[in-house]
Amino acid sequence: MTLFPRHAPILDRDEVRRLLALAWPVMLTSLNWTILHVTDVIVVGRVGEHEVAALSASRSLTYVAIVTGLAWLSGVLVRASRADGAGDLPATGQALRDGLVLGIVLGVAAMLILGLGGAALLRGIGVAPGLVVPGARVVTVMALGYPFQMVLIAASFFLEGISRPRRVTMVNLSILPINALLAWGLAGGEMGLPALGAVGAALATVIASALGAVAMVASAVTLPRGAARGVRRLDRAAWAPTLAGAVELARFGFVPAIASGLELAGFAILIALSTRLGDATAHGFQIVFSLHNVTFALALGLGSAAGVRAGNAVGEGAAWAAVPRTLIAVGLAALAMGACGLALSLWPGAVVGLFPALPEAKAVAVAMLVIWAPFILFDGMQVVLVYALRSLGDQVAAGINSIIAYFIVTGGVGWWLVDAGWGAPALAWASGAGMLVAAVLHGSRFAIVARRLRASHGLLRSG
Cα radius of gyration (the chain): 22
Q: Which of 236, 281, 290, 232 is nearest to 96 (CA)?
A: 232
User: In this model, does residue 250 exceed pLDDT 50?
Assistant: yes
User: In this model, does residue 8 exceed pLDDT 70?
Assistant: no
**232 contacts 226 by C-beta, under 8 angstroms:** yes
pLDDT tens digits, residue range 326-347? 999 999 999 999 999 999 999 9
pLDDT score for 461:
56
pLDDT tens digits, residue range 72-86? 998 999 999 999 999
pLDDT score for 10:
53
**Residue 264: which pLDDT band, with cuts at 50, 70 and 90?**
confident
The percentage of residues in the chain with a pLDDT greater than 70, rounded to a whole number, is 96
CA 431-29-355 angle, 5° bins: 55
Q: Return d(Cα 362, Cα 74) in angstroms, integer.
A: 37
Q: Tell me if the pTM is above 0.75.
A: yes
What is the DSSP annotation of 202-214? Answer: HHHHHHHHHHHHH
Phi, psi of 237 (to 5 degrees): -60, -35
Which DSSP state fits 3? Answer: S
H/E stretch holding 113 reads: helix 89-124
